[in-house]
A and B are shown apart, each in its own frame.
Chain A
Amino acid sequence: EPEVTQTPSHQVTQMGQEVILRCVPISNHLYFYWYRQILGQKVEFLVSFYNNEISEKSEIFDDQFSVERPDGSNFTLKIRSTKLEDSAMYFCASSEGTSGGYRGLDTQYFGPGTRLTVL
């Protein structure tokens, strides 16, 4: 069964450095998402992406964050200048987009996550 994959599984970086988290969504899926979970807290939505542009973003997704689909398979999340509070598990998800055009009905398939540690 196809799965969403994420690399790396764990990333350690120094405060102020740029990081790129990578995701390979399921191949026939059209919608892509990033969520994060700070240790002990809720899973929080960051951004959704469709047709090569951001379709929705949360208040968390500020100018330090960007997303890109650089080729036909990868979907990346870049954090320009990491802060201590960016330490979290970052989950990528994808969905088919077949629920009559309303994506909220789609099942989102999650990757295993990348644990980002900012020192």
Chain B
Amino acid sequence: AQRVTQPEKLLSVFKGAPVELKCNYSYSGSPELFWYVQYSRQRLQLLLRHISRESIKGFTADLNKGETSFHLKKPFAQEEDSAMYYCALSVRTSGSRLTFGEGTQLTVNP
């Protein structure tokens, strides 16, 4: 069965500092990886997915199959980045279910 692990429940950085939110997964095949974000009092929304290879709001994430990781990075954090970030995975054989990690609460201090 697939599993997603986000080792940091809380992460606090200062504005302008680099930030990296860690995500590791376990799945023997080729998964699809996503980052979802939940801003305060808002709904879960997709931030980015590995297949798109895009940068959203300055965030990027690279799928490293050797390390089974999909860490989320941003070179210069902004206060408005403060939110809960969830890494999620889906696999072709199980259709469409998303398997989520525990989430990391990012706080960007002024």
Contacts and interface: CB of A to CB of B under 8 A. Distances in A.
A and B associate: yes
Contact of A45 (B43, B45, B99): B99
Contacts, number: 63
A58 B97 contact: yes
Given A42-B102, A43-B86, A56 B95 contact: yes
A12 interface: no
B96 A33 contact: yes
A64 B103 CA distance: 28
Interface in A72-119: 91, 95, 102-113
B44 A104 contact: no
Interface in B69-104: 86, 88, 90-92, 94-103
A43 to B, nearest CB: 4
Contacts of B102: 41-42
A43 B100 contact: yes
A104 B91 contact: yes
B96 A104 contact: yes
Most buried by A among B97, B100, B101: B97
B32 interface: yes
A48 to B, nearest CB: 5
A110 B36 CA distance: 10
B92 A48 contact: no
8 contacts: A43-B86, A43-B88, A43-B103, A45-B98, A48-B97, A105-B49, A108-B96, A113-B43
Interface of A: 3-4, 31, 33, 35, 41-45, 48, 55-56, 58, 91, 95, 102-113
Interface of B: 32, 36, 42-46, 49, 51, 86, 88, 90-92, 94-103
Given A43-B103, A48-B97, A103-B96, 14 more contacts: A4-B43, A33-B96, A33-B97, A35-B98, A41-B102, A43-B88, A44-B100, A45-B98, A45-B99, A48-B96, A56-B94, A104-B90, A104-B92, A104-B95
